[in-house]
Amino acid sequence: MNRAIPDKKAFWSQIDWVLLDMDGTLLDKYFDDYFWETLVPQKYAEKYGLSVQEAKEELMRFYRREEGTLNWTDLDFWSKKLNLDIPALKEQIKHLISVHPYVEDFLCFLRQQQKKTALVTNAHYKSLALKMRQTRLDHHFDHIICAFDIGLPKEDKEFWFKLQQRLKFDPNRTLFIDDSEPPLLAAKEAGIKYLFFKSKANSKLPPKLPLNGFKSISSFKELM
């Protein structure tokens, strides 16, 4: 799919740092989509005596209001807002957390290529901890940074300037991969040169095409 890297050896010679999103990029987004679009509406409907459809409509209004903010992924915020124990509900379905194909191969490839790696996610600390316990991917990374460490979501270009100050990477020799375009656009504004869109986020859904001209991969196999 990615015709933009005809010469992979030359491409990787230009990269020192690789920044990777977590949900949808490394991990199958089916877990998150099922959690927020099916399980939470079911529990919310039971708690407040609504139909599941009514619960979904109400929750979608809440979700849209917080999209692009730190509240969007703050499990404590949603526990308080919905009066549901969100971390406990996530634990109930943790068996659905899974790693996309070729992710571990790619992370090993990066280590062999002596690239610096950072997991860069908007996920809340509690969600990050649960997913690392389940997948054991954490040992592959030089750094794990969540938006709550920085105090801004990845959709804010200031996030990337602060991340650069923290990690000391050269934006001209840095690759960032995400399954969502707003963080890629913010990273582009902040000067990060190499940006890829991960088109296959949810294994149960077809790949998406980027709308803003980003190079696209459906699998990490394409980069090795």
Domains of the chain: 8-28+98-223 (3.40.50.1000), 31-95 (no CATH)
Provide the β-strand partners of residue 177.
Answer: 20, 196
This prediction's pTM: 0.94
For residue range 123-152, list pLDDT tens digits in order. 999 999 999 999 999 999 999 999 999 999
For residue range 98-108, list pLDDT tens digits in order. 999 999 999 99
Token look-up 């010469």 returns 7
For residue range 53-79, list pLDDT tens digits in order. 999 999 999 999 998 899 999 999 999
